[in-house]
């Protein structure tokens, strides 16, 4: 039986109270109302009023009926502080969960939910089992499908979610109404074309995450996760139409 792999560095919270989903609905980038009456999972971001990324997380309605928030552990303390600040008088409570999150590919165990970002990411399951040690090359999957990760490609107070694929990856809803950072995100949506973004590149050599990318003597972007001869890079598109370098590595757009 495929019980799934443990996911390092994840924090789970219980979400309870009559206003729990309504409270999140006015804060996050995605529509959480589908979770009102049925099991499901939504991926969403919390933004600054200026539209910059602060954190992303999954909001989960388990088949057992309880609500969870699944977030990267390094982002958890600051995110909890901000959610608590926004809560005001809403009947919404966030408390630690003792459950574990697992993920896997192929046949899913009972109660597992498909990762909402992309089918290639398989499923996520929440329960008492901790899961097996990681063995799947998840970074290679992310690079292949241009999927950003918290704390790597997604940088708090710096990244914009549309430049990092949140629309393609089902992490933002443009019909749900207002949320924090919505006005800036909507303006970016209605631009004719984004000037920067996360893309897959071909790389000859290697360089650490965060290495600046140059096109000639001009900085063109930043290198992130590498898997074999492919990598994710955040680039200025007007400087990315030719050969580039990241340290000693040679780079070009993957077409």
CB 89 within 8 A of CB 72: no
Q: What is the pLDDT of residue 118?
A: 98
Q: Which of 76, 107, 141 is the last residue of a domain?
A: 141
Distance CA 97, CA 15 (A): 9
CA–CA distance, 41 with 101 (Å, rounded to integer):
13
User: Quick one: tokens of 243?
Assistant: 């050969």
165 assigned to some structural domain: no
Q: Indicate whether 185 belongs to any domain.
A: no
For the chain, the domain total comes to 2
In the DSSP assignment, the letter for residue 86 is H
Tell me what the mean pLDDT of segment 99-123 comes to.
96
Average predicted confidence (pLDDT) for the chain: 96
Do 110 and 34 fall into the same domain? yes
Q: How far apart are CA 218 and CA 138, in angstroms?
A: 32
Task: Say whether both 122 and 214 belong to one domain.
Answer: no
Quote the domain boundaries for residue 205: 195-255
CATH number of 109's domain:
3.30.70.1400
Residue % of the chain over a pLDDT of 70: 99
Residues 235 and 119 in one domain: no
Are 136 and 200 in the same domain? no
Residue 87 forms part of a structural domain: yes
| Average of per-residue pLDDT across 154-174 | 98
Last residue of a domain, one of 141, 159, 186: 141
CA distance 7 to 161: 23
Residues 134 and 72 in one domain: yes
Cα 229 from Cα 90, distance rounded (Å):
49
What pLDDT is recorded for position 1?
60
Give mean pLDDT, residues 76-98: 94
Q: Give the phi and the psi of residue 9 in degrees, each rounded to 5.
A: 60, 45
Q: Using 50, 70 and 90 to split pLDDT, how confident is the model at 191?
A: confident
pLDDT surpasses 70 at 13: yes
**How confident is the model at residue 168, as a pLDDT?**
98
Q: What pLDDT digit, counting tens, does each position of 21-49 carry?
A: 999 999 999 999 999 989 999 999 999 99
Q: What is the pLDDT of residues 123-133, one digit of tens each?
A: 999 999 999 99
């Amino acid at each position: 039986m495929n019980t799934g792999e443990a996911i390092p560095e994840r924090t789970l919270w219980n979400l309870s109270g009559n206003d729990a989903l309504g409270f999140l609905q006015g804060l996050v980038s995605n529509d959480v109302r589908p979770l009102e009456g049925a099991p499901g999972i939504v991926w969403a971001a919390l933004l600054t009023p200026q539209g910059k990324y602060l954190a992303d997380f999954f909001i989960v309605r388990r088949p057992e009926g309880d609500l969870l928030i699944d977030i990267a552990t390094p982002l958890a303390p600051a995110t909890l502080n901000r959610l608590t600040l926004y809560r005001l008088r809403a009947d919404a409570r966030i408390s630690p969960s003792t459950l574990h999150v697992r993920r896997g590919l192929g046949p899913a165990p009972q109660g597992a939910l498909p990762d909402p970002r992309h089918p290639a990411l398989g499923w996520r399951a929440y329960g008492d089992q901790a899961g097996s040690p990681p063995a799947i090359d998840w970074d290679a999957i992310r690079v292949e499908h241009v999927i950003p990760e918290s704390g790597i490609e997604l940088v708090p107070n710096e990244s914009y979610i549309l430049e990092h694929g949140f629309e393609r990856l089902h992490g933002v809803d443009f019909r749900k109404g207002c949320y924090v950072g919505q006005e800036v995100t909507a303006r970016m949506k209605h631009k004719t074309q984004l000037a920067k973004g996360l893309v897959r590149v071909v790389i000859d050599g290697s360089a650490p995450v965060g290495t600046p990318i140059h096109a000639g003597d001009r900085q063109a972007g930043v290198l992130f996760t590498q898997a074999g001869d492919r990598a994710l890079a955040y680039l200025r598109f007007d400087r990315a139409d030719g050969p580039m370098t990241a340290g000693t590595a040679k780079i070009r757009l993957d077409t």
